[in-house]
Structure 1
Amino acid sequence: MSISNAILRGVSGAYILQSGYGKLGLPNEAAAGIQGLAATGIPAVADMDSDTFGKFVAYSELGIGGALLAPFIPSRLAGLGLGAFSTGLLAIYFRNPAMTQDDGIRPSQDGTGLSKDLFLAAIAGALVFAPAKKRKKAKNKSK
């Protein structure tokens, strides 16, 4: 793993892992609030039980954060997981009119926090589309 990939994976992985850890044992009311916001971007989550949704979010963030931090997970695979995660967050941002200004792109005061998840999507893209390392072939030492 290159230094640049380690930095991208380390920072985003630690952030997401901490976020997931903070959501463990989330009270039902708090989970329902997050679920209501999430349903604006991903309508299918509205059908879930709020307690189940809270656990799903917490464990998903723990899994994605852990995958980013685990050096034995290939960067492209970790990037795909991060990409799926950040796409969901950006769907909430772009599909909720309260998050953007009238142009539908620039963040409103309420949307500034979520709009920053664009950086996660950029990190995912860097991990997925980074040039593949060429492996050195082992030289046969035959006598």
Structure 2
Amino acid sequence: MGFSIGNAALRLVSGAFILNSGIGKLHLEQEHAAGLQAAAARVIPPAGTLEPDKFGKLLSASEIGIGTLILLPFVPTRLAGLVLGMFSGGLVATYLKSPGMTKEDGILPTPAGTAMAKDFWLAGIAVALFFRRRRQ
């Protein structure tokens, strides 16, 4: 298992971004938590059964855990890519299923959807990490 500056860079930018997002959600207002919960419930219906405050805390803890896992250098890169892929897949699905986020084609973002469409870069990083070429 060798060190790769390319993998380290991908893990640093994605892990730090997700970790920061989770830390920013530590003290969500109930209205904001409820909005995030409604979006998540479009993809994962059981998420809608929680109290918004509890959902917000679970979301924050999940993002902190995922961001930390991606940043830890002793976590295998393929595992980090897999976890990032599952996380980013949920974000992309939320974007695609949220009304008003995409144009009529169902892919290109509307002005309101641009902020969510950026989550595709996390999916791209996940693919790069998971399918990276092993050194021999």
**TM score, norm. by length of structure 1:** 0.89
Partners of 2:49 and 2:90 lie apart in 1 by 16
- Identity in percent: 53
Residue in 1 that maps onto 2:85: 83
Q: 2:26 aligns with which of 3, 24, 27?
A: 24
Deviations 1:44-89 (A, max 9, x none): 2111221111011101110111111110001111111111110000
Partners of 2:83 and 2:117 lie apart in 1 by 19
Give RMSD over aligned pairs. 1.1
Residue in 2 that maps onto 1:58: 60
Q: 2:126 aligns with which of 124, 130, 136?
A: 124
- 2:78 maps to a residue whose letter is R
- 2:65 maps to a residue whose letter is G
Partners of 2:65 and 2:13 lie apart in 1 by 15
**TM score, norm. by length of structure 2:** 0.93
Partners of 1:104 and 1:44 lie apart in 2 by 25
3-state SS of the aligned residue for 1:98? coil
Partners of 1:83 and 1:133 lie apart in 2 by 22
Partners of 1:66 and 1:19 lie apart in 2 by 12
Partners of 1:79 and 1:2 lie apart in 2 by 14
Partners of 2:121 and 2:105 lie apart in 1 by 20
Partners of 1:102 and 1:3 lie apart in 2 by 40
| Gaps in structure 1 of 5+ consecutive residues | 135-143
Q: 2:48 aligns with which of 46, 49, 53?
A: 46
| Gaps in structure 2 of 5+ consecutive residues | none
Please state if 1:34 is matched with 2:43.
Answer: no
Structure number with bigger Rg: 1
- Structure 1 stretches of at least 4 aligned residues deviating more than 6 Å after TM superposition: none
The question of whether the paired residues in 2 share the 8 Å contact of 1:97 and 1:104 is answered with no
